[in-house]
Structure 1
Amino acid sequence: MTGLRERKKRQTRQLISDIATGLFLDRGFDRVTIAEIAEAAEVSVNTVYNYFPSKEDLFFDREPELIARSSALVRERQPGQSAADALLAQLRKDLDERTVHVGMTEGYARFMECVRESPALLARMWVMQARVVQGLTETLREEAGATPDDPAPEVVATQLVGVNNTIFRTVSMGVAEGVGTDEISRRARRKLEAFVALLSDEVLNYATRPAG
């Protein structure tokens, strides 16, 4: 059971995050200061930094979850399923269900507009993508039993994360253009299947979990 102290810490963190997000979306990331966020949340500046080491951490408050997601999907794959099977199946599901993971939820257009307006956030997105590849590489190396000098896990991870990034960009562009969600999903699915058709069998079958 979670203690009262821990629950209060989570509530404070969520409050700060929610207020910061509202300010960022309203005024733009670069126009909001940590001091303004602290004042609006009725906490000290030090308290904000205790929960979020940087302003970018406030904007991308779900970064740890995002970075861990691909690795978790691979670890939880079913018998007979490869790493690619697990990740691609989830990507298709995200497109069908219009989830936040592919940027198809209400308010995401403004979120991405904030990112495009800020060099700091664009740089952070590149760092996040690199961290996803690094985490997935380590997971694939463990799951496939690859040696430390085997380049295959990194090559496979880079290609699979690249598929996801391509689909995310496709959705983001459609949202920015004001295209309807059905058409965005159709475009994304078409591009996804074209991308998958170009992946090698080695990538598609890498780290297949033994059946039975």
Structure 2
Amino acid sequence: MDERIGLRERKKQRTREAISNAAISLFFDNGFDQVSITQIAAAAEVSRRTLFAYFPAKEDLVLHRIADHETESGRVLRERPGAPLATLRAHFLDGLERRDPITGLNDAPEVLALYRLIMDTPTLAASLLRYRENGKQALEEALRDKENLPQLTARLAAAQIMSVQWALSEDNYWRIAGGTSADDAYPAARAAAEQGFDQLAGGLGGFL
């Protein structure tokens, strides 16, 4: 029984990846707004109904590629011991060192193309705000649960922390998009991250 469930899950994952890959390829070639759901379904060899079962909205075909990072800060805070700001600083700096795409410090062509698609498509950029709001809420909840902070204090802290992380990531992306390699951009990116978290510590040190 468990083996059959495992096979079904793997098949579903393969179908999901095939749909997403077909969509991303079409978006890269033609632009997000110029590609229809019908075209994506045909390219992936599935029905429209099957496509929507995996991806309820067209934007999800792109943004699911970063969905694992949606609530990452809150998850990291819950899973790791230590003071919240120190924990999140260490995690972000580690991401820079690993060239994690979510930090913006990644010059792989496929990563740059995906970010360019998101940034250059108004509907995708707007949907990204929903992902960011979910991330902020997850961090707020983690701060309340782990640090026993009042709701308003946790909300304001989460907003400040996530805003700094997003600003750092976007600056890194634009630096890379401008032609700087990830390796060459790393020292400045690390220095900016240290400054960003230092400023957070100056304002939030009494709480976190």
Same fold (TM over 0.5): yes
- In structure 2, what is the equivalent of residue 135 of structure 1? 138
- In structure 2, what is the equivalent of residue 177 of structure 1? 178
Q: Structure 1, residues 17-76: CA drift from partner, whole Å, max 9, x if none?
A: 121122222222112111111001100011100100011011111454222211110011
Q: Give the Cα–Cα distance (whole angstroms) in 2 for the partners of residues 100 and 49 of structure 1.
A: 27
Q: Give the counterpart letter for 1:129 in structure 2.
A: R
Query: Contact conserved, 1:82 with 1:205, CA < 8 A, in 2?
Result: no
Q: What is the correspondence of 1:157-196 to structure 2 with a 5 Å cutoff?
A: 157-196=158-197
Query: Contact conserved, 2:136 with 2:162, CA < 8 A, in 1?
Result: yes
Q: Give the Cα–Cα distance (whole angstroms) in 1 for the partners of residues 66 and 182 of structure 2.
A: 25
RMSD: 1.8
Q: What is the correspondence of 1:6-17 to structure 2 with a 5 Å cutoff?
A: 6-17=9-20
- In structure 2, what is the equivalent of residue 74 of structure 1? 77
Query: Contact conserved, 2:107 with 2:182, CA < 8 A, in 1?
Result: no
Aligned residues between the structures: 203
Give the deviation of 1:201 after TM superposition: 5.0
Write 1 or 2 for the structure with the bigger share of helix.
2
Give the deviation of 1:205 after TM superposition: 6.7
Query: Contact conserved, 1:71 with 1:139, CA < 8 A, in 2?
Result: yes
Identity %: 31
SS at match of 1:53: coil
Q: Give the counterpart letter for 2:75 in structure 1.
A: A
Please state if 1:197 is matched with 2:198: yes
Q: Structure 1, residues 69-108: CA drift from partner, whole Å, max 9, x if none?
A: 1111001112xx1111111111101111111221315122
Q: Give the counterpart letter for 2:37 in structure 1.
A: I
Q: Give the Cα–Cα distance (whole angstroms) in 2 for the partners of residues 151 and 188 of structure 1.
A: 31
Counterpart among 87, 107, 113 of residue 110 in structure 1: 113
Ranges in structure 2 where 5+ consecutive residues have no aligned partner: none
Query: Contact conserved, 1:68 with 1:135, CA < 8 A, in 2?
Result: yes
Query: Contact conserved, 1:85 with 1:204, CA < 8 A, in 2?
Result: no
Q: TM-score, normalised by structure 1?
A: 0.88
Query: Contact conserved, 1:83 with 1:204, CA < 8 A, in 2?
Result: no
Please state if 1:23 is matched with 2:52: no
Q: TM-score, normalised by structure 2?
A: 0.89
> Structure 1's 36 and 65: CA in aligned 2 closer, same or farther, altered over 3 A?
same
> Structure 1's 34 and 204: CA in aligned 2 closer, same or farther, altered over 3 A?
farther
- In structure 2, what is the equivalent of residue 33 of structure 1? 36
Q: Structure 1, residues 115-168: CA drift from partner, whole Å, max 9, x if none?
A: 222110110112211111111111111112234xx3111111111111210111
Could you say which structure has the greater relative contact order, defined with CA pairs below 8 angstroms and 6 or more residues apart? 1
Q: Give the counterpart letter for 1:59 in structure 2.
A: V
SS at match of 2:200: coil
Q: Give the counterpart letter for 1:52 in structure 2.
A: F
Query: Contact conserved, 2:66 with 2:102, CA < 8 A, in 1?
Result: no
> Structure 1's 141 and 60: CA in aligned 2 closer, same or farther, altered over 3 A?
same
Q: Structure 1, residues 189-208: CA drift from partner, whole Å, max 9, x if none?
A: 1211222222245624745x
Structure 1 moving runs of 4+ over 3 Å: 204-207
- In structure 1, what is the equivalent of residue 97 of structure 2? 96
